[in-house]
């Protein structure tokens, strides 16, 4: 009898959770949510399966998700296997002609299709593409010293909207094309921010390996404004790898994204917690 009572409590709690989610489900009906997927979660089969299930559920309740992924560790592994040596300028890898071919092979092939397969295995209908497809992302060279590393200069989201209409989930590899047809490697966060801005997305979720933006006491700040981010950066509280993520957030908001969330992609159901519960997850950044 005790076991049955405990099960009943679990069912009641589940039903209550679903009921409490109703306002959030209504809030995000037909909303565009761009998700940058990266970090350790990409290399873990269980985490990948959980992420894929969450994405399928999001689409099932009316959200239009777009996945933009990274793949740095996989690229490094393949370069090592092929014995392609890399040069570095001020700590950044030079992407020469040989390296960019490997980058495209790994991102558009291995990594992209693994995510597509994971989503489809959960009952979704994902389609993989890169920024080169349908002129999605036109780039300029970021720095001649770094070779084929690009910065998005023009994003054409028409193909993504067509996929939404067909009830498909776009999974985008962060590669772009130059005006002369050359291939550029694009930072995953930067690509996600540019795509989110072009879509005027309701949310940009940057999944990382940290719990969010922290204050000078090391505590996660759950809500921030653009001015707050700038003050924390100027004072040195925001430093290191968090700087490019917050810069991406500021650029995305300036481009028309309603809010950006930096959250821990390793946490179970992180995207669902952020979108469909009052608690949320990580640090949300708004214009003001």
Q: Mean per-residue pLDDT for 61-88?
A: 91
Angle of CA points 9, 11, 16, to nearest 5°: 95
| Cα(234)–Cα(246) distance, integer angstroms | 12
Closest alpha carbon to 242 in 227, 264, 267: 264
Catalytic center residues: 36, 39, 72, 189, 245
Q: Scanning the structure block, which residue is given the tokens 């809030």?
A: 27
* 140 vs 269: which has the higher pLDDT: 140
Give the chain's domains with CATH numbers.
29-286 (3.40.1160.10)
pLDDT given for residue 1 in this prediction = 42
Closest alpha carbon to 145 in 75, 189, 91, 107: 91
Q: What tokens were used for 36?
A: 């940058």
| Cα(130)–Cα(109) distance, integer angstroms | 10
Q: What is the pTM of this model?
A: 0.90
> What percent of the chain is predicted at pLDDT more than 70?
90
pLDDT in tens, 229-251: 999 999 999 988 899 899 999 99
């Amino acid at each position: 009898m005790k076991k049955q009572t405990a099960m009943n409590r679990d069912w009641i709690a589940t039903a209550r959770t679903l009921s409490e989610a109703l306002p959030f489900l209504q809030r995000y009906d037909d909303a565009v949510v761009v998700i940058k997927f990266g970090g350790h979660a990409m290399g873990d089969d269980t985490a990948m399966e959980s992420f894929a299930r969450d994405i399928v559920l999001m689409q099932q309740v009316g959200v239009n998700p777009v996945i933009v992924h990274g793949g740095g560790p996989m690229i490094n592994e393949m370069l090592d296997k092929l014995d392609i040596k890399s040069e570095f300028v001020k700590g950044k890898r030079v992407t020469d002609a040989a390296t960019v071919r490997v980058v495209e092979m790994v991102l558009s092939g291995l990594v992209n299709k693994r995510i597509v397969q994971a989503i489809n295995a959960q009952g979704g209908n994902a389609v993989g593409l890169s920024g080169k497809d349908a002129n999605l992302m036109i780039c300029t060279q970021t720095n001649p010293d770094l070779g084929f590393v690009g910065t998005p200069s023009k994003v054409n989201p028409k193909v993504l909207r067509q996929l939404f209409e067909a009830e498909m989930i776009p999974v985008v590899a962060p590669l772009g094309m130059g005006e002369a047809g050359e291939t550029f490697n694009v930072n995953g966060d930067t690509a996600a921010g540019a795509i989110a801005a072009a879509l005027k997305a309701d949310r940009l979720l940057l999944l990382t390996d940290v719990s969010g933006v922290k204050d000078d006491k090391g505590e996660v700040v759950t809500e921030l404004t653009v001015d707050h981010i700038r003050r924390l950066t100027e004072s040195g509280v925001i430093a290191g790898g968090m700087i490019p993520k917050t810069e991406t957030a500021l650029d995305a908001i300036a481009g028309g994204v309603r809010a950006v969330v930096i959250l821990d992609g390793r946490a179970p159901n992180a995207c669902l917690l952020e979108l469909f519960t009052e608690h949320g997850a990580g640090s949300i950044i708004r214009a003001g």
